[in-house]
Chain A
Amino acid sequence: MSASENVAIPATIPQAVPARRGMPAWQVALVVLGGLVVAIAPAFVLESFPLFQLTMAVIMGLAVLGLNMVTGFNGQISLGHGAFFALGAYATAILMSHLDWSFWATLPFSAAVCGVVGYGIGFPALRLGGLYLALTTFSLAVAVPQILKHKSIEDWTGGVQGLFLVKPDAPAWMPGALTPDQWMYFVAVGVAGVCFLLCWNLIRGRIGRALMATRDHQTAAEAMGMDTATLKTRAFAVSAMVTGIAGSLSAVAVEFVAPDSFSLMVSITLFVGMVVGGVASILGSLFGGLFVLFVPNIAEAISKAAPGVIYGILLIAFLFILPDGFAGLLRRIAGRLRGRG
C-alpha cells in the first residue's frame, strides 16, 4: 500500500492551475496559438520519415497519458497497459480489414471495448493493492500476445500472420494535397489533442482532486465521503480507453498488427515513458512518448554493439538529472520565471 504513495507527486499541480487561471486572455491566446503552430508546423517542415516517427511519438504519448491517468493520478500501478494498447489496435484492425469500416468509425468502438475491459479489470484491482495489482496487470500483458494467436479467434485476428490495414486517405475537401503521412500525422495529433484536453479537464476538476485524494490517502478520502471504489474502477476504464485509442492510431499508422507487436516490452515501455515524462502530469506524458520513441534510436547511434547498455545509462542519467521527469523540469522553469516576474 505504501508503494502507491511513493508514486505520488503532490501539491505542484493544484498550485499551477490557479496561477494559469490568473493569466490574461491575450497570453492564453498566445499560448494556444503557439501550441497550434508547434503542432502543425512539423507536417510541412519534416520529411516523411521523421514525420512518421513524430506521429508514432505522439501516439506513444497518448498511450502514456492513459497509463498516467490510472497510475500517476490514481496510484494504481499497472504494468499491463500494453494489453489495452493491443486491444485497441486489434479492434480497429479487425473492423477495418474484415468489415471494411472506416477508421473514424472504429475509433469509438475500440474506445468502448477498451473502456469496458478496463472497467472489468478495475474490479479485481479494488482488492489488490500496490505491488499485487502490478503483478496482476503484468500477467495480463504476458497473456495477451498468446491469446491473440489462439486458434478459436484466428479467423478474426489473423493468427501469427496478423492483419494488414490501410492508412486513411486525406479527405477530398482538404486544401492542398496532403500525403498519407501528413494526414496520418494530423489525425494522430487531432485525436491525441482531444484526448489530452479531455483528460486535463477531468483532472483539474472535482473528479481529478478526488482521484488524487484516493491515491494520497484512501482512508481519508473515504472519510470525506468519496466513493473510492467507483473512482478507482472508473479511473481504470478511462485509462484503458485512452491507451486503447492510442492502440487504434498505432494500428493504422503502422498499417499492420501482429501478436509480436504487443509483447511485454510495450507495457514496460509505457511505464518508462510515464516515469521519464513525469508521473501525474498531463503534458509530461507527451514527453514520455517522445523519449520512448527517440532515445532507443539515439542509443543505437552511439553504440551498435550494446544499444541496451547505452539506453540504460541514458535512462539513469535522465532520472538523475530530472528526478520528477520532464514535467518537473518545466514546472521548475515556470516557477523560476514567475518568481522573477
Chain B
Amino acid sequence: MTLHRRALLSGSVAALALPNLAPAQEAPGVTANEIRIGSTNALSGPASSYSVISRCLSAMFKRVNDQGGIAGKQINFIVYDDNYAPPRTLEQTRRLVEQDKVAFLFNQLGTPTNSAIHRYVNQRKVPHLFLATGADKWAQPQEYPWTIGWQPSYRTEAQIYTKYIMEQRPQAKIGVIYQNDDFGKDYVNGVKDVLGARFDAVKLVSHEATDATIDSQIVTLQGSGVDALVCGIIPRFAAQAIRKVYDIGWKPMMFMTNVSVSGSIVMQPAGAEKGIGLITSDYRKDQSDPAWAEDPGMNEWRDFMRRYIPDGELGDNNYTYGYGAGSTMIQVLKQCGNNFSRENVMKQATSIAPLEIGTLLPGVKVSTSPTNYHPIRHMQLQKWDGKSWVRFGGVIEGANV
C-alpha cells in the first residue's frame, strides 16, 4: 500500500513538474519551425459572408510564410466553422486549444460566439486576440486580461460623435435613439463617457428589434427639443429614421452608427436626398473612394489581393478589415522576438506602439498598452452628400475612460 501511494505521489509530482520544465524552450503550439494559431468563423450559415475575413487572413499568413516566416517559423493558421452558434464556438475553440494545441486564438468572429468562450480562454490563460466584433466588453483588462478586441467599439464611436457635438454646438440638446440590447446600449454608454454629469440632460429613447416602426420615437425626440441626434440602430430602422426625420421637417445634427450606412441597404431605401447632411464615421479607407486610387497603403493591399486572392471581390470591405487585423497580428508576432509563450504574446499584443496600417485612414493608429485594450480609438467623420460619403475634418480620438 505504501509503495503504491509513493509511486502515485512521485508520478503526480513528475506530472506537475513536466509542464514547468517544458515551456523554457517550447511554448504550447510552438515548435522549432511552426507557430499554430487558431480561429473560428462562420464558414457556413447565415453569417457566412464574413468568412472572407478568414480567407484574407489565411492568405496573409501564406505571404508571411513565403517570405520566410516569423523568426524562422512558419505560421499554421487553423480556422474552424462555428456556424455562428455559441455552443459550436466553444466546441471548436476547445478543439483548437486542447487537441490542436494552438499557441493562441486570433480574430474569432461574432459577439455571442466570443461571449461563449470569454471565460474559458481566460481561465486557461490563452491569448484571445483582436476579435472580429465591435462590442465594448472585450476591453476589460482587470477581469479578462487575456481577451482584446481590435476595431473601434460602438462605445468609442459614440464618444467620437459626442466630442464633435461638444465642439460644434456646446449648448446642443442631445438625444439618443438606440436598440434595446448590448449593441444599442454601447452608444448610450459612449455619450455618457463624454458628457459625465451633463448626461442627465440627454433624452434617451429605445426601441425593440422586433418593433415594426420607430416613427413614434422620432416624434418624441423632436417634441422634446433635441437638436443633436445619435442613432444606435440597425439598418432597417436607420432607413426609417432618416426618412421620418426628413418628412416631419426636423433638421437636427444627425449621427448614424457606421453599422447602418450602406448606400444600397440604408441610404437608397430611405431616399438618397433625404439623408443629405447625415454624419457617420469610419476608420478604414474606402476602396471605392478615388482619393485612394494611387495611395501607397491601398496599393500594397491591392498588390496583395492580386497575388494571393486573385478571385477576391475587391469591393468587399471585409478584405480591408482582414488586412488591417492581420497586419496588427503580424506586428505582434514580430515583436515577440523568439519567445512565443502565451505570456509574451499577450504582453506584446498589449504593448503596440502607435502603428500605421495601409488600409486604415491616415491618422488612425493601432496602439495598445496593459491598461488600454482598445487598439483603434480614432475615427474620421463623414457626411452624406446625396450620392456618397464625404470625409471631413481630422481624425477624432475616443474619450479616455
Interface residues of A (CB under 8 A from B): 47-50, 52-53, 56, 146, 149-151, 159-162, 164, 250, 254-256, 258-261, 263, 265, 296-297, 300, 304, 307-308
B95 contacts A260, C-beta separation under 8 Å: no
Known: A49-B99, A263-B85. A164 touches B119 (CB 8 A): yes
Cα separation A159 to B81 with both chains bound (whole Å):
25
Contact flags (1/0) for B100-133 with A, using CB distance below 8 Å? Answer: 0000000000011101100110000000000000
Distance from B134 Cβ to chain A, minimum over Cβ atoms (Å): 14
Distance from A3 Cβ to chain B, minimum over Cβ atoms (Å): 28
B180 contact set on A, CB distance < 8 A? 151
A254 contact set on B, CB distance < 8 A? 86-87, 90, 116
Contact flags (1/0) for B141-177 with A, using CB distance below 8 Å? Answer: 0000000000000000000000000000000000000
B80 contact set on A, CB distance < 8 A? 300
Cα separation A151 to B85 with both chains bound (whole Å):
22
Cα separation A250 to B83 with both chains bound (whole Å):
18
B86 contacts A162, C-beta separation under 8 Å: yes
A300 contact set on B, CB distance < 8 A? 43, 80-81
Known: A52-B91, A159-B181. A255 touches B112 (CB 8 A): no
B316 close to chain A: CB less than 8 A: no
B90 contact set on A, CB distance < 8 A? 254-256
Most B CB within 10 A of own CB, among A50, A149, A162, A261: A261
Distance from A19 Cβ to chain B, minimum over Cβ atoms (Å): 39
Distance from B322 Cβ to chain A, minimum over Cβ atoms (Å): 16
B371 close to chain A: CB less than 8 A: no
Known: A49-B99, A258-B86, A261-B85. A162 touches B112 (CB 8 A): yes
Interface residues of B (CB under 8 A from A): 43-45, 79-81, 83-87, 90-91, 94-95, 97-99, 111-113, 115-116, 119-120, 180-182, 208-210
Can you list 23 A-B pairs with a CB-CB distance of less than 8 A? Answer: A47-B99, A48-B94, A48-B98, A49-B94, A49-B97, A49-B98, A50-B99, A52-B91, A149-B209, A159-B181, A162-B86, A256-B86, A256-B87, A256-B115, A256-B116, A256-B119, A258-B116, A259-B112, A260-B84, A260-B86, A261-B85, A263-B85, A297-B95
Cα separation A49 to B116 with both chains bound (whole Å):
16
Q: Which residue of B lies closest to A152 (CB)?
A: B208
B182 contacts A151, C-beta separation under 8 Å: no
Cα separation A47 to B90 with both chains bound (whole Å):
16
B94 contacts A52, C-beta separation under 8 Å: yes
Cα separation A308 to B116 with both chains bound (whole Å):
23
A261 contacts B181, C-beta separation under 8 Å: no
A151 contacts B208, C-beta separation under 8 Å: yes
B182 contacts A161, C-beta separation under 8 Å: yes
Most A CB within 10 A of own CB, among B84, B91, B119, B120: B91
Cα separation A308 to B87 with both chains bound (whole Å):
18
B81 contacts A307, C-beta separation under 8 Å: yes
B44 contacts A307, C-beta separation under 8 Å: yes
A308 contact set on B, CB distance < 8 A? 44
Cα separation A149 to B208 with both chains bound (whole Å):
10
Known: A160-B181, A164-B119. A307 touches B85 (CB 8 A): no
